[in-house]
Amino acid sequence: MATSQLVNEELDRQLQRDSGMPHTYYVVLMKLSEAPDRMLRMSELAMELNSSQSRLSHAVARLEERGWVQRRPCATDRRVSWAFLTDEGFAVLAAAAPGHTEAVRQSFFDRLTPEQVRQLAEICDAVLGRTDS
């Protein structure tokens, strides 16, 4: 737990300093950038982020204010809304990614030996229930 908190705090500081956004916003933008047509249902995005609907709604509202994300209603179900990554949001993410990737490497992977990285991958796969099939 302490390791996760330390790394997350380091990454949050780096993103705030270099890109003016917290790590939470970066992860939302990243998840949307990986989605088909750069959009996900809000409920799906909350699940992907392991976040509550209300917490995600607050983050998306802040991202909308910056012009990085838009909420769009579903054409077939009024109860559903979509989060869409705008071109501006994609550009902000693309600009932030190299520095963030370097910070992840420095904060985490540079502190491990190649064997420890391999072991960590195996542990994460086991915890997440993945196999090599």
Token readout for 30 is: 């990243």
Residue 94, domain CATH: 1.10.10.10
* Confidence at residue 21, expressed as pLDDT on a 0 to 100 scale: 95
Structural domain containing residue 100: 2-128
* Confidence at residue 133, expressed as pLDDT on a 0 to 100 scale: 46
Q: Is 22 exposed, middle or buried (0-12, 13-18, 19+ CB in 10 A)?
A: middle
Instruction: Count structural domains, the chain.
Output: 1
CB atoms within 10 A of CB 88: 12
Nearest CA to 41 out of 73, 84, 86, 82 is that of 82
In a domain, 54, yes or no: yes
User: What does pTM read for this prediction?
Assistant: 0.85
In a domain, 133, yes or no: no
Could you read off the pLDDT of 61-89 as tens digits, one per residue? 999 999 999 999 988 888 899 999 999 99
In a domain, 8, yes or no: yes
